[in-house]
């Protein structure tokens, strides 16, 4: 039984890291590149975590030793602070659940932590050369499928498959920048795995094929993922210097450490020049890409200045973005990203999420990864070369996230990296520690508790959200004469999907009706259907809006829809509908005073 349980837990972790980045349930699924992955990751992680909890109750050697818990402490403090910030933030439900489009809220972070604990336990007990090799091989297998999907997409061979054409160059991840972040982990963890002692020739060849497929990706060769390429190059520089810093020759060691410090200082001064207007570096970036990033960062700084202690709560950058919206985003040097929910810089994102303390605790977590990597080397758990590879990865990841943001897939990869580094710090001496077995008389109660726990968590975090996603997909796909009766089906399922997504549904409805309003008026049957649809849609949106008082996009588009409804209804009813439209419009203006859209709306 115990051996069987060990194997199930191990294979469960393999399944999570292999399938999660490449799952895709079809173009008709709402936000398919994310939702296909998110709730699979939740569900399987919950099952594996509960099985692991039972495993450590009957096999003490799998329990995490104090050394590993000490390693995890900065991460636990960081997540604890973000939790406090989320509870006290402007939209707690969004902090915990995130949007369906992102899937990176606190609940995802908790699941990532759970997976890290399991993997660290298995690494500590079975070692890198056994379980660790298998885990990383499955990680690389999944990465290979992802890399192939990028090659087949619209930045590579440009196959006509719809899911590839809509993926924005990111293959099965759905975004080129997010796919590039994940492939950074693939490159460096692939190199790390290549140098695990005892690899077979067949495995070394396979890893080499994966690495060549990844490094030759259109994302890197075509420089569409410029931040990732920059991160890889600078990461390699720091990796080489880190390798030399471990030399036994004093001159080489001291010189390399001096160069590491110098590189760090140069990086800081370069970044300062980069973000300063009128500098050559700033202008070059604006010309080659867009100035959007600078606008996003300036807005984030304003939000951080307003709430420097606890911030606005994780996943709430969109509230700050709309409050401090800068119309300069419409200038030719930018792309008009009216709706944006990310600062595109991990440190500013965290500052908005949890204030300066969140940034500090995140830095502590990164430092703990570097220290943990060094300890793994000094304890002879990894080689000098593997140490430098992991340093390269950490640096590359940090630099990449100065320009983009995390996805579910990159958080998964970070969880695995964290588990490997911290797990290697447990050492095999943990097996000899004195640990008590759970009394056999207690085991039925423990099993009952764990079964209730996992069934409850699966219902709340997997089944209901999945039902919400499928219901949204079904409702918006219904014909005009059938849809009105089903808007109410979206209520009371799960909090997930009631924020950013509903605002977009409202906007899509507005765009559709405004484009076809003339033809609707000419067709009496279509007019009747449209009035019923708008009435029921607005009834649903009113219920959602009562709890989403900071959702500017929702209120703006509700106001627009009421104007269209008034136009279609006419007569006495139009007066009341127009009044409600103005009420919503003026409230929307309080949420985003500088957005020209709401000013144009109120002048109509």
pLDDT tens for 386-432 read 999 999 999 999 999 999 999 999 999 999 999 999 999 986 554 54
CATH 1.10.3470 fits 471-603, yes or no: no
Distance in angstroms (rounded) separating the CA atoms of residues 479 and 499: 24
- The CB density around residue 141, as the number of other CB atoms within 10 Å, is 15
* Residue 437 clears pLDDT 80, i.e. is over it: no
Rounded to an integer, what is the distance from CA 497 to the centroid of its chain? Answer: 16
Residue 14 has pLDDT above 90, yes or no: yes
Average pLDDT over residues 55-83: 95
pLDDT at position 40 is 96
Q: How far from 287 is each of 3, 66, 284, 398, CA to CA, in Å? A: 60, 52, 5, 24
Taking a C-beta distance cutoff of 8 angstroms, is the pair 89, 314 a contact? yes
Nearest-5° Cα angle at 417, 412 to 419? 95
376 has a pLDDT exceeding 90: yes
Structure tokens at 469: 């996603």
DSSP-derived letter for residue 128 is I
Decide which of 548 and 284 is more confident.
548
Cα→Cα distances 574→454, 507, 565, 566, Å: 52, 21, 8, 4
Confidence of residue 603 (pLDDT cuts 50, 70, 90): confident
Nearest-angstrom CA–CA distance, 277 and 291: 10
Largest CA distance in the chain: 90
Average per-residue pLDDT in the chain?
Answer: 91
| Residue 581 scores a pLDDT above 90 | yes
Least confident of 69-73, 295-299, 434-438, 565-569: 434-438
| Confidence (pLDDT) at 462 | 94
* 230 Cβ neighbours under 8 A, 6+ residues apart: 399, 400
Structure tokens at 44: 């399987």
**CA atoms of 91 and 93, how far apart (whole Å):** 6
pLDDT above 80 (res 334):
no
572, HSE (Cβ side, Cα atoms, 13 Å): 0
Please answer whether residues 312 and 90 qualify as being in contact, where contact means their C-beta atoms are separated by less than 8 angstroms.
yes
CB 376 within 8 A of CB 387: yes
Count Cβ neighbours within 10 Å for each residue of 241-259 and write b for 16 or more, e otherwise: bbbbbbeeeeeeeeebeeb
Residue count of the chain: 604
Query: Is the separation of the CB atoms in 31 and 166 below 8 Å?
Result: no
For residue 28, the number of C-alpha atoms closer than 13 Å in the C-beta half-sphere is: 7
Collect all residues with Cβ–Cβ distance below 8 Å to 420 and sequence separation of at least 6. 119, 120, 123, 128, 132, 135, 136
Closest CA to 85 of 275, 291, 307, 263: 307
The pair of structure tokens assigned to 19 is: 């399938």
pLDDT score of 244: 93
252/234 Cα distance (integer angstroms): 20
Query: Mean pLDDT throughout 163-187?
Result: 89
d(CA 294, CA 458): 41
pLDDT band of 224, cuts 50, 70, 90: confident
The share of the chain scoring above pLDDT 90, in percent, equals 71
Q: State residue 433's pLDDT score.
A: 47
User: Residue range 103-114: average pLDDT?
Assistant: 97
pLDDT recorded at residue 290: 62
Q: Is 563 helix (H, G, I), strand (E, B) or coil?
A: helix
> Based on the number of CB atoms within 10 Å of its own CB, is 383 exposed (0-12), middle (13-18) or buried (19 or more)?
middle
Domain ranges of the chain: 2-432, 471-603
- Range with the lowest mean pLDDT among 27-36, 326-335, 372-381? 326-335
Q: Looking at 81-95, 187-201, 436-450, which range is the least confident one?
A: 436-450
With 90 as the cut, is the pLDDT of residue 193 above it? yes
What mean pLDDT is predicted for residues 468-495?
A: 91
- Taking a C-beta distance cutoff of 8 angstroms, is the pair 191, 236 a contact? no
Output the six-digit token pair for 318. Answer: 């969109």
> C-alpha dihedral over 361, 364, 366, 367, to 10 degrees?
170
Would you say residue 236 has pLDDT above 70?
A: yes
Cα torsion through 65, 70, 71, 72, rounded to 10? 90
Rounded to whole angstroms, how far apart are CA atoms 568 and 98? Answer: 36
User: Would you say the C-alpha torsion 166, 171, 172, 173 has a positive or negative sign?
Assistant: negative
pLDDT exceeding 70 applies to what percent of the chain?
A: 95
User: What tens digit of pLDDT does each residue of 505-550 get?
Assistant: 999 999 999 999 999 999 999 999 999 999 999 999 999 999 899 9
Give 581: exposed, middle or buried? Use CB within 10 Å, 0-12, 13-18, 19+: buried
Nearest of 567, 557, 509, 503 to residue 533 by alpha carbon: 509
**pLDDT: which is higher, 168 or 328:** 328
In whole angstroms, how large is the CA radius of gyration of the chain?
26
Least-confidence region, from 153-167, 176-190, 563-577: 153-167
pLDDT of 333 above 90: no
pTM comes to 0.94
Q: Phi and psi (nearest 5°) for 94? A: -75, -35
CA 373 to centroid of chain Cα atoms: 24
Residue 439 backbone phi and psi in degrees, to 5:
-55, 140
Map tokens 């604990």 to a residue. 117
DSSP class per residue in 167-236: TTT-GGGS-HHHHHHHHHHHHHHHHHHHTSTT--HHHHHHHHHHHHHHHT-HHHHT-SSHHHHHHHHHHH
Cβ–Cβ < 8 Å for 287, 74? no
Round to whole Å and give the CA distance between 328 and 427: 55
């Amino acid at each position: 039984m115990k051996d069987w349980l060990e194997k199930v837990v191990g294979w469960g972790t393999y399944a999570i890291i292999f399938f999660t980045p490449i799952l895709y349930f079809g173009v008709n699924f709402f936000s398919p590149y994310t939702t296909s992955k998110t709730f699979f990751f939740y569900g399987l992680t919950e099952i594996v975590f509960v099985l692991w909890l039972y495993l450590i109750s009957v096999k003490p050697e799998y329990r995490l030793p104090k050394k590993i818990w000490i390693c995890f402490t900065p991460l636990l403090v960081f997540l604890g602070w973000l939790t406090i910030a989320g509870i006290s933030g402007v939209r707690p439900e969004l902090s915990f659940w995130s949007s369906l489009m992102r899937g990176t809220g606190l609940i995802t972070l908790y699941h990532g932590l759970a997976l890290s604990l399991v993997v660290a336990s298995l690494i500590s007990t079975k070692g890198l050369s056994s379980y660790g090799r298998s885990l990383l091989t499955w990680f690389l297998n999944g990465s290979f499928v992802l890399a192939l999907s990028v090659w087949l997409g619209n930045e590579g061979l440009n196959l006509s498959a719809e899911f590839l054409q809509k993926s924005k160059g990111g293959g099965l991840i759905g975004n080129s920048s997010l796919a590039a972040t994940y492939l950074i982990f693939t490159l460096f963890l692939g190199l790390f795995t290549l140098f695990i002692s005892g690899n077979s020739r067949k495995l070394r060849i396979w890893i080499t094929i994966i690495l060549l497929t990844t490094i030759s990706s259109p994302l890197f060769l075509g420089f569409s993922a410029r931040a990732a390429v920059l991160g890889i190059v600078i990461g390699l520089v720091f990796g080489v210097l880190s390798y030399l810093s471990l030399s036994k020759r004093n001159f080489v060691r001291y010189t390399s450490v001096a160069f590491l410090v110098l590189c760090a200082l140069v990086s800081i001064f370069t970044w300062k020049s980069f973000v300063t207007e009128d500098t050559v570096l700033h202008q070059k970036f604006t010309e080659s890409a867009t100035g959007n990033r600078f606008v996003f960062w300036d807005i984030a700084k304003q939000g951080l200045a307003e709430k420097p202690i606890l911030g606005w709560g994780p996943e709430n950058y969109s509230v700050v973005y709309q409050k401090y919206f800068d119309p300069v985003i419409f200038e030719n040097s930018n792309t008009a990203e009216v709706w944006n929910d990310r600062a595109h810089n991990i440190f500013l994102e965290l500052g908005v999420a949890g204030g300066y303390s969140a940034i500090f605790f995140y830095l502590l977590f990164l430092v703990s990864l570097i220290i943990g990597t060094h300890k793994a080397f000094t304890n002879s758990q990894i080689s000098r070369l593997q140490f430098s590879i992991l340093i390269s990865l950490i640096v590359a990841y940090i630099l990449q996230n100065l320009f983009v943001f995390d996805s579910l897939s990159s958080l998964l990869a970070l969880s695995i990296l964290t588990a490997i580094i911290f797990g290697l710090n447990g050492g095999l001496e943990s097996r000899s520690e004195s640990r008590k077995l759970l009394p056999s008389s207690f085991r039925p109660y423990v099993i009952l508790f764990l079964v209730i726990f996992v069934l409850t968590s699966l219902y709340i975090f997997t089944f209901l959200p999945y039902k919400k996603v499928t219901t949204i997909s079904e409702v918006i796909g219904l014909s005009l004469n059938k849809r009105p009766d089903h808007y109410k089906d979206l209520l009371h399922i799960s909090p997930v999907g009631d924020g950013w997504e509903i605002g977009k549904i409202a906007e899509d409805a507005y765009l559709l009706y405004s484009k076809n309003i003339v033809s609707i008026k000419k067709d009496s049957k279509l007019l009747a259907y449209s009035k019923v649809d708008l009435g029921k849609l607005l009834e649903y949106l009113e219920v959602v809006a009562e709890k989403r008082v900071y959702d500017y996009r929702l209120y703006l588009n509700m106001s627009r829809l009421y104007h269209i409804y008034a136009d279609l209804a006419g007569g006495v009813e139009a007066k009341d509908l127009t009044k409600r439209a103005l009420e919503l419009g003026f409230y929307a203006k309080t949420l985003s005073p500088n957005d020209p859209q709401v000013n144009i709306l109120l002048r109509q």
